[in-house]
Structure 1
Amino acid sequence: MLRGYGFVVVSSLAFMFAWSGEQASFADESKRPNIVFILADDLGIGDLGFYGQERIQTPHIDQMFSEGMEFTQHYSGSTVCAPSRSCLMTGLHTGHTYMRGNGAEVVLRDDPEDRTVASALQEAGYATAMIGKSCVSGGMSELDLPNRKGFDHFFGVLSHTEAHHYFPKVVYRNGQTIPLPGNSEHEGDQYCHDLYLEEAKNWIREHSDESFFLLYSAHIPHVSLYAPEEWKEKYRGKFEETPVTNQKHYRNEPEPLTTWAAMVSRLDWEVGQILKTLNDLNIAENTLVIFTSDNGATEAGGHSEKSFESSGLLRGAKRDLYEGGIRTPMVAWWPGTIPAGSDSDHISAFWDFFPTACELAGADVPSGLDGISYAPTLLGNNQDQQQHPWLYWEFFEKGGKRAVRMGNWKAVQLDMLKKRPSPIELYHLGIDPRESNDVAEDYPNIVEVAKQIFEEARTESPISRFNWSSDE
């Protein structure tokens, strides 16, 4: 069985019964861990050496997997950036969270609406920071929005369009604009990831004697295609290149394959630098580090998912609700607490991080979250681990689509914004992880369960472009 593609065999329809109730915190305040969440952007599950990638080197992330716990059944919040991050921040899936697509108008609202995990940890006494790409807005917003959403410290870019370029003309720190006069988006004097990494290491050092939460929100390997020369040199001459030209928004790149591989390796090195900082400060054993990606592999800016088989064995890529669009690599690293080389087939998603972090931190878990804490799994208390009856996603682009995973069953419906949506497709992931055999006609009872969940799983969002009536 290949890494990351195992599935649990479910013998009943217990998933039809929803789990509810608040989860008690058992964290000893004197032992509560620091939490570092490293979020890659558009990294496919097949881009890592641990998952079989042979042409791109990712030794540090691979080492995280060998020293930590692999979650073989982990899902992103959505299939594009902004709603995926919204799910991570709010503990709600895309049928409930406010931000459900990309766009300039998608911005989390002030408390008490859209309460974030950062606010909960901040109120529990944690120092909190977000560095890199904003996870509380998709477009430009008030400069202090990250601080109002629970982050004591923010350094990075607010607009996701700004995050398309590695030489932004400005970055923001705690409500202040910092000009980078030598930058012109595609080229410049100050590579933003050099700035982010230094900021993150310094912030960790400054808060190493207190409980802290750091969200390191990388741009890499999101297009535009760019990597520093020293990283491109490692791969130059290894690929047959077709130059990317005539890009109007993204960067033209004569060596796209070399550059993509270099971007992934540069991200891997940054992960290693963060882990080294924790080890050098002797706080690694009191720090949970989670590494994952915000959605599946990208198909933009001259890059193709097929170039490196970035989706691995999975069907689809970014903007799909097939597995390749929403299944993500996920590893939890916590030396001395999580056994090295362990794995879990617990089915989890981005909206589970909020209750998990709260449980570990001894923070109050708000009612009404869609997430279920996976802290018991991290701590080896598998008998106490609650299970999801189902996971739900919706997405308005490409004609509109929705999906639900119920145990081993996965239902997908396309063309939701058309007058007549496509029939519900049904796949058994335990038998068919590639989603190549639609068995909806053979299991009409399961299709009816999926249809009922589709009708009940969502509420309207004022800014959603994915609204329809149940009789359409």
Structure 2
Amino acid sequence: MRNDLIIFHLPPNGGTTSPTLPMKFKLISSLFTCLAFTVLHAAPQRPPNLIVILADDLGWGELGCFGQQLIQTPRLDRMAAEGMRFTQFYSGATVCAPSRSVLMTGLHQGRTRIRGNSTNPTKLALHSGDLTVAEFLKSAGYRNGVFGKWGLGESGPAASGLPLRKGFETFFGYLNHYHAHNHFPDHLWRNEERLPLPNRARAVGDFGGSVTDDPVLFADDLITDEVLKFIGRHQHEPFFVYWSPVLPHANNERTTTQGNGAQVPDFGPYAGRDWPEQDKGHAAMITRLDSYVGRLIDHLRLLGLDQNTIVLFSSDNGPHNESKHNLARFRPAGPFTGTKRSLTEGGIRVPTIAWGPGLVPAGVTSGHAAYLGDWFATAAELAGAKAPEGLNSVSFAAAMQGRPADQAAHDFLYWEFNERGFSQAVLYKGHWKFIRTTHPTRSVRLHDLENDPSEAKNVAAEHADIVASIEAYLTTARRDDPAWPATTRID
């Protein structure tokens, strides 16, 4: 429907419009018409579309733009060249479920609902009172879709955390972490309906894991298609896409039964390498993930959305070795120590890229210390809304937009690990790294990351004042939760 304002000029005798009106009346008429057209057609500034891509178990050093030499990631490397690399960006936790809970709630691991991995689905479910960034953005006018691995609620007793009950209107992927181990599953979920697939999976273990010996459809191929369809459907309105591919996570059950958890449709450019199949498969997973990101960027450009969309690429935690591939070959943690399930930098520092032509400066590297929990406040600022009170979230929009002088910083960042004896980690002032553990014995470590990024030297004894400041913070950092008792807490 056209909104043009048409003005008729009636002559004094009430007849039809005269084509011979004096010139000044014609000019006035044209002026009012133009002004009316401008007012009626002017639209308010549309907030940017927001996309988070969260890789699964991808290490800091597994992308070419972060120093990888053997695994090919040309599209992510180009994304970094056209955008910004964050070199000190952290996951929400060192394992999957709590890291995703931190991302969704903007609360660190001592405050968020889900604080560890578990075989009990009710412990891995968000509650109705847990505000997610999707619920917040929905109230700000965004259309929200989540694709891939959810892991924060499923049917049955854990249904309070289902995606469609936590602010998303569309979901396609896996609900259960163990189900997501299999890249060739016999079903996926569309919203809250089970969608059968032609893969014939057989159950392994008691928690939903499986293996597929005659694979047909690779789940992340299907999931990528759904992401692009959602964007196409909602291209004319603000949208938030949370895309959580299951690459390069291993199929742990396949590793247990067959010795190789890196099951992919093909080995791609690594087929001719003189490597074990586990190494070929792991590298192929990352290169396949890279191609998905390239498809997304191409799709945004095709639809003309690239100039008003911000894409954040990151990982849920550090690299794994659950495919039994050769860590020494790939050096997935880069210069850092540790892997998934470690609170050292290798377990929680993750490769992160922000991209958005015209919104994010190109070819820039930021050393701002941030973590996944900061996405909530960042998304709120980008959407033009005020973030809720009480979050452990500091917007990094200023850093991402090339305004480092305006960027606020955390005094403290917090992590914990519950599965192998209770342990805690704190980043203080961006470079003091503190780890306190009771497994296997009580220990306190402090590292100066500016001079010791590999955390080789414990300087706790030389900096008792820093240790005291961090330990004082720890007395209030964690809120007790009966589902996640710190049974081996250090008092």
Instruction: Say yes or no: TM over 0.5.
Output: yes
What per-residue deviation string (whole Å, max 9, x for no partner) do you get for residues 82-129 of structure 1?
000000000000010110001133333333x21100000011110000
User: Deviation of residue 468 (structure 1)?
Assistant: 4.7
Do structure 1's residue 238 and structure 2's residue 273 form an aligned pair?
Answer: yes
Q: Which amino acid aligns with 1:55?
A: L
| Root-mean-square deviation over aligned CA pairs | 1.9
Going from structure 1 to structure 2, the CA distance change for 1:29 and 1:73 (only over 3 Å counts) comes to: farther
The aligned runs of 1:27-42 (5 Å cut-off) are 30-42=45-57
From 265, 282, 285, the counterpart of 1:263: 285
Higher Rg of the two aligned structures = 2
Do structure 1's residue 49 and structure 2's residue 64 form an aligned pair?
Answer: yes
8 A contact 1:285–1:335 mirrored in 2: yes
3-state SS of paired residue (1:46): coil
From 105, 120, 123, the counterpart of 2:139: 123
8 A contact 2:278–2:323 mirrored in 1: no
Deviates most, 137-146 or 166-175: 137-146
User: Deviation of residue 436 (structure 1)?
Assistant: 0.3
3-state SS of paired residue (2:270): coil
Query: 1:371 aligns to what?
Result: 393
Tell me the TM-score normalized by structure 1: 0.86
8 A contact 2:447–2:457 mirrored in 1: yes
What per-residue deviation string (whole Å, max 9, x for no partner) do you get for residues 310-362 of structure 1?
01110100000000000001110010121110121111011100010011112
Query: 1:435 aligns to what?
Result: 455
Query: 2:188 aligns to what?
Result: 171
3-state SS of paired residue (2:416): strand
CA–CA separation in structure 1 for the residues paired with 2:192 and 2:48: 28
The aligned runs of 1:52-451 (5 Å cut-off) are 52-103=67-118, 104-105=120-121, 106-111=123-128, 113-137=129-153, 141-142=158-159, 145-184=162-201, 185-186=211-212, 187-224=214-251, 225-230=261-266, 232-241=267-276, 255-407=277-429, 408-415=431-438, 421-451=441-471
CA–CA separation in structure 2 for the residues paired with 1:219 and 1:239: 26
Query: 1:453 aligns to what?
Result: 473
8 A contact 1:355–1:365 mirrored in 2: yes
CA–CA separation in structure 2 for the residues paired with 1:316 and 1:60: 27
- Segments of 5+ residues of structure 2 without an aligned counterpart are 1-42, 202-210, 252-260
- Segments of 5+ residues of structure 1 without an aligned counterpart are 1-27, 242-254
User: Deviation of residue 437 (structure 1)?
Assistant: 0.5
3-state SS of paired residue (1:453): helix
Query: 1:245 aligns to what?
Result: none
3-state SS of paired residue (2:159): coil
Q: Which amino acid aligns with 1:109?
A: L
CA–CA separation in structure 1 for the residues paired with 2:268 and 2:409: 46
User: Deviation of residue 135 (structure 1)?
Assistant: 4.8
Identity %: 41
CA–CA separation in structure 1 for the residues paired with 2:161 and 2:351: 31
Q: Which amino acid aligns with 1:330?
A: T
CA–CA separation in structure 2 for the residues paired with 1:462 and 1:364: 31
Larger helix proportion, structure 1 or 2?
A: 2
User: Deviation of residue 465 (structure 1)?
Assistant: 4.5
8 A contact 2:438–2:488 mirrored in 1: no
3-state SS of paired residue (2:434): strand
CA–CA separation in structure 2 for the residues paired with 1:143 and 1:444: 45
Going from structure 1 to structure 2, the CA distance change for 1:303 and 1:415 (only over 3 Å counts) comes to: farther
- 4+ long deviations beyond 6 Å: none
CA–CA separation in structure 1 for the residues paired with 2:434 and 2:229: 45
3-state SS of paired residue (2:467): helix
Q: Which amino acid aligns with 2:249?
A: H
3-state SS of paired residue (1:264): helix
User: Deviation of residue 143 (structure 1)?
Assistant: 9.1
8 A contact 2:148–2:246 mirrored in 1: yes
What per-residue deviation string (whole Å, max 9, x for no partner) do you get for residues 412-454 of structure 1?
11226x7xx5221010000000000111111111111121122
3-state SS of paired residue (1:101): coil
Query: 1:247 aligns to what?
Result: none
CA–CA separation in structure 2 for the residues paired with 1:389 and 1:317: 25
3-state SS of paired residue (1:45): coil
User: Deviation of residue 138 (structure 1)?
Assistant: 8.2
CA–CA separation in structure 2 for the residues paired with 1:220 and 1:376: 30
CA–CA separation in structure 2 for the residues paired with 1:31 and 1:147: 25
CA–CA separation in structure 2 for the residues paired with 1:173 and 1:425: 46
User: Deviation of residue 467 (structure 1)?
Assistant: 3.9
CA–CA separation in structure 1 for the residues paired with 2:124 and 2:275: 41
User: Deviation of residue 31 (structure 1)?
Assistant: 3.1
CA–CA separation in structure 2 for the residues paired with 1:413 and 1:307: 31
CA–CA separation in structure 1 for the residues paired with 2:463 and 2:235: 54
Going from structure 1 to structure 2, the CA distance change for 1:305 and 1:460 (only over 3 Å counts) comes to: farther
Highest RCO, 1 vs 2 (Cα 8 Å, sep ≥ 6): 1
8 A contact 2:134–2:168 mirrored in 1: yes
CA–CA separation in structure 2 for the residues paired with 1:138 and 1:84: 17
Tell me the TM-score normalized by structure 2: 0.83
Deviates most, 301-310 or 163-172: 301-310
Going from structure 1 to structure 2, the CA distance change for 1:143 and 1:401 (only over 3 Å counts) comes to: closer
